[in-house]
Amino acid sequence: MSSKLIYFNKVTPALKKILESNDSRGMQIFYWHEIPEGERKNVLKEADYFLVATEKITKEMLQSAPKLKMVQKTGVGVDNIDIKTAKELGIPVCKTPGANAISVAELTIGMILSLYRKLNLLDKATKNGQWLMWEHRLTSYEVYGKTHGFIGFGKIGKETAKRSKALGTKIIYYDKIRADEEFENSLDAKYMELDEVLKNADIVSLHVPLLPETEGLIGKRELSLMKPTAILINVSRGKIVDENALAEALANNVIAGAGIDAWSSEPVERDNPLLAFDNVVATPHIGAGTKDALNRVLSMAFQNIALVEKGKTPMYVVN
């Protein structure tokens, strides 16, 4: 009898096709949002695997799945999964590190360029019949020659740094684990403490997971350390930044702009004050949202499932 897998995020026909093409073992795949409410408990009882991106995996779900062998996250942030309960039940929770790094890195660079060249404003103005050929020149900038500060220098941070360096930036970074000397030398990257990165950077981008020690990492004090011409890019998790403090900083010209892909509440609340700023580029958590990244992530996920099916230990267990 084939194993049963539940995929928890919403799907389209195209996504189903990609999911099923990555399943070389012919598993029964159930799509959570297509299972009638009254049948979900029965499906949970028979499930061997959970595959999830951003949907919540709760204590109740885990306790209702006695046959569950593994929870596989498509991505690296596992704050949407009840890790404690999974550990208590002996269920490994696994991630797919590095699979989405290129997509997130490219979005980071895209946000920087959009903010520096006012692309969001000029696109809207041009389509509305305005010809702002000269109006923004004195507040537009090249990336070349700027200092790019990284908070978090894991796989995504490193991939972003490579691309930023290619545009001519100076790389500085803070991470609890310092990069190896060879990589530092390859980019002429300099390690600094957090406050020093904030003080010295023209661009600050966030690439850290959401943990108790990173929640609220960037607040009023940290924003006050940044240059008034600096921009902040958050492509990690929304709760790493105090959004009210960021809105206040933007309103008072403490910093020059922000690119936000991750929000404290998702979908973002319509009355979130950050949505009102012209110097904010806002996206709906699409850092890893490319077909290329999806194929890499799903390939890793199903390879991991294949290991468990063979009685082997899965890779990248977080609990």
Model confidence pLDDT, tens digit, residues 246-261: 999 999 999 999 999 9
Kindly indicate the confidence band of residue 293, based on its pLDDT and cuts at 50, 70 and 90. very high
Catalytic residue among 39, 88, 142, 266: 266
Give the residue from 122, 124, 125 showing the smallest Cα distance to 139.
122
pLDDT of residue 196: 98
Rounded distance between C-alpha atoms, residue 203 and residue 110, angstroms = 13
Cite the DSSP H helix spans in the chain: 13-22, 40-46, 59-63, 83-88, 101-117, 119-127, 155-166, 181-187, 194-200, 220-225, 243-251, 291-309
Kindly indicate the confidence band of residue 224, based on its pLDDT and cuts at 50, 70 and 90. very high
Paired with 257 in beta bridges are: 231
User: What phi, psi does 190 have (nearest 5°)?
Assistant: -120, 125
Cβ neighbours of 148 (radius 10 Å): 28
CB 91 within 8 Å of CB 252: no
Q: Is there a domain that residue 127 lies in?
A: yes
Which pair of tokens denotes residue 273? Answer: 């004050």
Which pair of tokens denotes residue 69? Answer: 């062998």
- Domain check: are 129 and 163 in the same one? yes
Q: Is there a domain that residue 319 lies in?
A: no
CB 11 within 8 Å of CB 33: yes
Q: What is the pLDDT of residues 177-215, one digit of tens each?
A: 999 999 999 999 999 999 999 999 999 999 999 999 999
Tell me what the pLDDT averaged over the chain comes to: 96
Q: Is there a domain that residue 316 lies in?
A: no
pLDDT of residue 26: 87
CB 50 within 8 Å of CB 95: no
Catalytic residue among 222, 237, 243, 296: 237
Give the residue from 69, 50, 67 showing the smallest Cα distance to 9.
50
Kindly indicate the confidence band of residue 24, based on its pLDDT and cuts at 50, 70 and 90. confident
Return the sign of the alpha-carbon dihedral for residues 153, 293, 168, 219: negative
- Domain check: are 95 and 18 in the same one? yes
Identify the DSSP state of 180. P
pLDDT of 1 strictly over 80: no
- Domain check: are 199 and 302 in the same one? no
Rounded distance between C-alpha atoms, residue 123 and residue 129, angstroms = 10
- Cis omega (within 30 of 0) on the bond before 267? yes
Burial class of residue 203, CB neighbours in 10 A (0-12, 13-18, 19+): buried
Which pair of tokens denotes residue 116? Answer: 């520096």
Give the residue from 310, 210, 197, 203 showing the smallest Cα distance to 256.
203
The arithmetic mean of pLDDT across residues 156-167, rounded, is: 98
- Domain check: are 134 and 148 in the same one? yes
- Domain check: are 9 and 139 in the same one? no
- Domain check: are 272 and 175 in the same one? yes
CA 272-273-275 angle, 5° bins: 75
pTM over 0.75: yes
Known active-site residue 237: yes
- Domain check: are 72 and 130 in the same one? no
Rounded distance between C-alpha atoms, residue 238 and residue 76, angstroms = 15
Amino acid at 90: G
pLDDT of residue 226: 98
Domain assignment of residue 296, given as a range: 4-99+290-309
- Domain check: are 247 and 105 in the same one? yes
pLDDT of residue 180: 96
- Domain check: are 11 and 54 in the same one? yes
Q: Is there a domain that residue 294 lies in?
A: yes
Rounded distance between C-alpha atoms, residue 204 and residue 198, angstroms = 7
Rounded distance between C-alpha atoms, residue 311 and residue 309, angstroms = 5
| Domain count along the chain | 2
Known active-site residue 148: no
pLDDT of residue 72: 98
The arithmetic mean of pLDDT across residues 223-229, rounded, is: 98
Known active-site residue 137: no
pLDDT of residue 25: 79
Give the residue from 5, 140, 168 showing the smallest Cα distance to 72.
5
Kindly indicate the confidence band of residue 75, based on its pLDDT and cuts at 50, 70 and 90. confident
Percent of the chain past pLDDT 90, that is, above it, reads: 94
